[in-house]
Structure 1
């Protein structure tokens, strides 16, 4: 490890510690590395431009962002919530189940945990509180926990990022997220049921069966979006990036044509907000790619692979150690940084140990999503606090049981690779 790289690492942590956005921290640190190493400073710009220019799959990120924002601005979210109330609202802890089910469905459209929490999550939190059966902190905690499912069930922005750094198929990664996402939803619903039973939360009045067909018909066009996306990708008609464009167009057609709930002024605001969010993510991605170039130059992944091979560590022990590392980093860093900066260091080691990289990616992405609700700096906790005004302390206290439920799901995914790989193998994956 050279002096230049040590200076680079010190700069990253020092700048991040004083509150500098992680993208800018990486850019400044990379520039310092090149300066100390005596290299041409223009290499930073060259790597940034070349990596993004070659990264066709990155176009899926802003397209999924705008699709989610269009659905939040229109009445798509409300129609989905009404459908979820009709399906699971009749059980004990019904509105909590509605919250989780709505995240499962919405995740098949947005691919973003933040979009889920800030959009449909805000609505369902208010609905839970209005019943008078749930505290504000509990409603916010269920919303934050269920939003972690968003980037697991396809489409998934973090899966796109992992595909970029690992050269794995986005299609197979999307398929590998289906069962893990459902497992996470099941664990959260089970915990919600147990808490509701212990607190003796009353059962909600069921939706009359005669209203069910009408509710389903009104929600049906929105429910078809995941079907259209996945059938296009796995039927060979579209690439994942093209599917993201179709998702954005379909959301726009629903909001402006069928539901007529998105006006021109609101659409302008959606485009501006989406551009800002995409730019923020783009800065982090671009600067992380520069940093990854430096890491590759220093041969850090190869050094780690050799070290792990000498330790003769088993694949399971490596995965468990990685889980502990990512969970710890999740308390301090956002998921994008973990996926783009930390995981490239360990992918070669996972490959050497014979760990399937699709399975490895799913486990690590699930782990990074759990980090979004891990105190003290879980991003989703702050997002829910910002959009609802519910005190952060109340959210953290109530989110801990759901954090435990998600950790159980993570252990199951780590120990049993077939949970992730069953569906991809059915569609021809041979890993």
Structure 2
């Protein structure tokens, strides 16, 4: 492992980010500068371009544009309002009920759409003003909204779990989907506990009413949306179709749901939805391509083996090694988007944890949970920016109420890290 080349890679990447170069270009350019030191320019350019092209030449990655399109249709198709009605009927009358509604609705919408940003904007756009109107602190409402939206990246279907499957060399997507359920629900539960404590402390009451009739009305109103989870995840687990095929089925189902059943999406809306999907997919796949190029550079410089040797020399105690990896991933998540972080750091850390006997499925969930927390933290947390934008608040005002929710997410992360059964029980139950 050549420390000079590592220093050049890191320094170039940090400088490019610091001067405002987009993340994908920063990753690609820093990788190119690094290999230009040891390769002829023609070979360096050709090799990096080849690695970027082959990096996105994957059948599994076809699921990403389909799930993005399904999420766009859900965002416009009236699904959010129906999920909010269901959440209101389930937890609305409890003390601090509006905070619980926000959390539960974000979990449901994030799980169905697979997009945390869509959950934060769709649910937050309705719930944060409603919470403020009922006397809740607006910053607290924004903090609840943006942290609970992150659960959609752990609870399947999740694009980032598909990316981890690619980066890990083929860990089963179905197994990763199953592994995400319990950790995702635990994050939501922990956030509800914190929100409940805050509500009791500050005297936030609920004016919501519910009953059997209201519950069943809201449940059947949201049932067509909830059935998407059954169709997609059930079909994958039963072996009826692959994750990629499931993503195409999700698009067809949400198109019918949004245009025929709920009638919220019109034909005139489709060009804009398709354009937004194309832009999002382009950004994601550009990140994937350049990140795969950087992953090859890291491998070429023998960095994963060097990091593995270094960590194992620090300690041979799995508890200590996992704590160090968690701290490193939490730090990475504060300045790097999830997709490149998974593609770059999975080949570095996965060999270390596998050598310690950790199941790759378990590690995939731990990694994604770490990076989900990073989405809620400055300086580049996308959920933090979206949540603050939806609420019309500065980041500084949201940070104080965000802190206890942030600590709750870290507590669940540590629990899942050191209790493998929480993420492995369902995959093992279904034979993965």
Tell me the TM-score range normalised by the shorter chain: over 0.9
2:96 to 93, 98, 101: 93
Aligned to 2:138: 136
Unaligned runs of 5+ in 1: none
Indicate if the aligned counterparts of 2:111 and 2:151 stay in contact, CA closer than 8 A. no
* Local SS of the residue matching 1:149: helix
Q: 2-side partners of 1:14 and 1:57: how far apart?
A: 33
TM-score, normalised to structure 2, is 0.95
Q: 1-side partners of 2:129 and 2:178: how far apart?
A: 33
Deviation at 1:191, TM superposition (A): 0.6
Q: 2-side partners of 1:211 and 1:417: how far apart?
A: 39
Q: Deviations over 1:233-286 (max 9, x none)?
A: 001011011111111211111000111110122221111111111111111110
Whether 1:279 aligns to 2:282 is yes
RMSD, aligned CA: 1.5
Q: 2-side partners of 1:370 and 1:228: how far apart?
A: 29
Deviation at 1:376, TM superposition (A): 3.9
2:105 to 77, 83, 102: 102
User: Which moves more between the two structures, 327-336 or 262-271?
Assistant: 327-336
Aligned to 1:422: 425
Deviation at 1:116, TM superposition (A): 1.3
Whether 1:306 aligns to 2:309 is yes
Q: 2-side partners of 1:303 and 1:7: how far apart?
A: 16
Aligned to 2:349: 346
Indicate if the aligned counterparts of 2:308 and 2:348 stay in contact, CA closer than 8 A. no
User: Which moves more between the two structures, 134-143 or 301-310?
Assistant: 301-310
Q: 2-side partners of 1:178 and 1:210: how far apart?
A: 29
Deviation at 1:5, TM superposition (A): 4.8
* Local SS of the residue matching 1:177: helix
User: Which moves more between the two structures, 100-109 or 184-193?
Assistant: 100-109
Q: 1-side partners of 2:181 and 2:263: how far apart?
A: 31
Deviation at 1:4, TM superposition (A): 4.7
Indicate if the aligned counterparts of 1:323 and 1:367 stay in contact, CA closer than 8 A. yes
TM-score, normalised to structure 1, is 0.95
Q: 2-side partners of 1:176 and 1:191: how far apart?
A: 24
Q: Deviations over 1:64-91 (max 9, x none)?
A: 1111111111111111111111111011
* Local SS of the residue matching 2:37: helix
Aligned to 1:147: 149
Whether 1:19 aligns to 2:20 is yes
Q: 2-side partners of 1:343 and 1:30: how far apart?
A: 17
Q: 2-side partners of 1:52 and 1:24: how far apart?
A: 16
State the aligned residue count. Answer: 427
Aligned to 2:54: 50
* Local SS of the residue matching 1:377: coil
Q: 1-side partners of 2:259 and 2:348: how far apart?
A: 45
Indicate if the aligned counterparts of 1:381 and 1:396 stay in contact, CA closer than 8 A. no
